[in-house]
């Protein structure tokens, strides 16, 4: 007889929760979720679940921090002694989660919305390293690559760079597309050609050194590229990008304090 699949509960089924449903996660686990109406659904069968006393191997916290702090005592009802709690919430510290749930097996992770395509770089922090075993490793690898951190503040940094990062990058790409289309009003440019431009620069460069070489080789003095690069430098683009990441990092830290 085949061994039953381990049970997973998603507390919250919003934007991030839906993005975690990679095909390997769906294949290997039996996943339920609970919504704000306190109804439990099975993701696999798409039906309401009546049975209450299910033992969950992993319970993902996928609600907003304020909801967690308000409802933690209710969420305790789903935890068994062996359950591992996996918090995806920005800001809320491990110690706060342990205290509010009265449970020690808590892990903080910071995935991003590309997990569904197995393309998330997921950062992990736990005080008790024993709970980061091979079955946990396999679970997180269903989202993409896994990066263990030894300092909890690294989760705030990952929240900014890798959690919010996809939105920052999408915004920058969108600005380039809009600017290019504005400049080329008569000759309609296609999104695909502009997106391929980004893909191709990434394909040609593997690291920072390649990028420096690439920049130096194409920006000839007094040429067209140099004119554009000089403008980017004069606007202090490095500072703009740094401040963007720093604002998100500081906000992640604030969330942990304001509640
Ligand atoms: N979005 C991202 O890219 C991202 C990345 C990394 C980490 N995070 C973290 O992930 C968490 C969720 O973010 P999100 O963007 O997915 O938010 P979201 O789309 O607003 O989803 C939150 C979900 O929580 C549900 N909910 C509210 N009260 C509940 C309750 N009492 N019991 C169960 N579920 C309840 C809501 O259900 P209803 O729809 O029924 O109200 C909603 O579906 C946040 O803590 C955030 O810091 C997000």
- 65-75 vs 94-101: helix crossing angle, rounded to 10: 30
Per the model's pLDDT, the better-predicted residue between 2 and 189 turns out to be 189
Amino acid 45: pLDDT? 84
Q: How far away, in angstroms, is 67 Cα from ligand 1 center?
A: 9
Residue 3, pLDDT score:
79
- Which residue has a Cα nearest atom 46 of ligand 1? 89
- C-alpha 244 – ligand 1 centre gap (Å): 23
Domain boundaries, the chain: 7-150, 165-256
Could you read off the pLDDT of 123-176 as tens digits, one per residue? Answer: 999 999 999 999 999 999 999 999 999 999 999 999 999 999 999 999 999 999
Quick one: average pLDDT of 35-43?
93
Q: Which atom of ligand 1 is nearest to 113's Cα?
A: 3
Is a pLDDT exceeding 70 seen at residue 16? yes
How many other CB atoms are found less than 10 A from the CB of residue 72?
A: 18
Rounded to the nearest angstrom, the gap between the alpha carbon of residue 23 and the centroid of all alpha carbons in its chain is: 17
Ligand 1 atom 29: residue of nearest CA:
36
d(CA 13, CA 78): 16
Strand partners, 106: 85
Q: Which of 62, 158, 253 to mutate to test the pocket of ligand 1 (most atoms within 8 A of CB)?
A: 62
Residue list, ligand 1 pocket, CB within 6 Å:
11-17, 34-36, 62-65, 67, 71, 88-90, 110, 112-113, 163
Q: Is the pLDDT of residue 222 over 90?
A: no
Distance CA 45, CA 49 (A): 10
Q: What is the model's pLDDT at position 2?
A: 72
For 95-139, the DSSP string reads HHHHHHHT-S-EEEEE--GGGGGT-EEEEEE-SSGGGS-HHHHHH
Beta-strand ranges (E) seen in 157-204 are none
pLDDT score, position 1: 67
Q: Is residue 17 over pLDDT 70?
A: yes
Q: Among residues of the chain, what percentage have pLDDT more than 70?
A: 99
Helix (H, G, I), strand (E, B) or coil at 236: coil
Yes or no: domain 165-256 corresponds to CATH 1.10.20: no
In this prediction, residue 46 has a pLDDT band, given cuts at 50, 70 and 90, of confident
> What CA–CA distance (Å, rounded) separates 256 from 74?
21
pTM, 2 dp: 0.93
Going from the Cα of 28 to the center of ligand 1, the distance in angstroms, rounded, reads 23
Confidence bin at 18 (pLDDT 50/70/90):
very high
**Cα dihedral sign, 216-173-154-206:** negative
Position 186 pLDDT exceeds 90:
no
CA angle (198 as vertex; 194, 200 as ends), nearest 5: 105
- What's the CA-to-centroid distance between 110 and ligand 1, angstroms? 14
Pick the closest to residue 120 from 152, 158, 77, 177 (CA basis).
158
pLDDT recorded at residue 258: 56
Per-residue pLDDT tens over the stretch 49-99: 887 789 999 999 999 999 999 999 999 999 999 999 999 999 999 999 999
Nearest CA residue ID for atom 32, ligand 1? 36
Q: How far apart are CA 83 and CA 246, in angstroms?
A: 35
Give the atom of ligand 1 at the shortest distance from the alpha carbon of 64.
Answer: 45
Query: In the predicted model, what is the mean pLDDT of residues 201-223?
Result: 91
Between 244 and 224, whose confidence is greater?
A: 244
Q: In the block, which residue shows the tokens 């009265």?
A: 102
Q: What is the pLDDT of residue 221?
A: 76
What is the third-level CATH fold of 7-150? Answer: Rossmann fold (3.40.50)
Arithmetic mean of pLDDT over the chain: 94
């Amino acid at each position: 007889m085949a061994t039953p699949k381990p049970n997973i509960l998603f507390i919250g089924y919003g934007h991030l929760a839906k993005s975690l449903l990679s095909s390997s996660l769906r294949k290997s686990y039996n996943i339920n979720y609970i919504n704000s109406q306190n109804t439990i659904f099975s993701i696999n069968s798409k039906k309401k679940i009546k049975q209450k006393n299910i033992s969950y191997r992993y319970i993902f916290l996928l609600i907003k921090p304020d909801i967690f702090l308000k409802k933690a005592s209710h969420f305790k009802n789903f935890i068994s002694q062996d359950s591992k709690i996996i918090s995806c919430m920005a800001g809320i510290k491990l110690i706060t989660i342990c205290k509010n749930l009265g449970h020690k097996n808590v892990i903080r992770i910071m995935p991003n919305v590309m997990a569904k395509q197995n393309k998330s770089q997921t950062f992990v922090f736990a005080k008790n390293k024993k709970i980061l075993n091979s079955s946990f490793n396999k679970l997180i690898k269903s989202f993409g690559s896994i990066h263990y951190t030894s300092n909890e503040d690294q989760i705030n940094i990952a929240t900014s760079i890798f959690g919010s990062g996809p939105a920052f990058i999408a915004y920058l790409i969108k600005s380039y597309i809009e600017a290019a289309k504005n400049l080329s009003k008569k000759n309609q440019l296609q999104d695909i050609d502009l997106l391929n431009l980004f893909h191709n620069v990434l394909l040609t460069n593997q690291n920072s050194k390649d990028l420096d070489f690439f920049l130096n080789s194409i920006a000839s003095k007094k040429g067209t590229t140099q004119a554009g690069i000089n403008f980017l430098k004069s606007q202090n683009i490095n500072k703009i990008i740094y401040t963007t990441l720093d604002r998100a990092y500081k906000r992640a830290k604030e969330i942990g304090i304001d509640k």
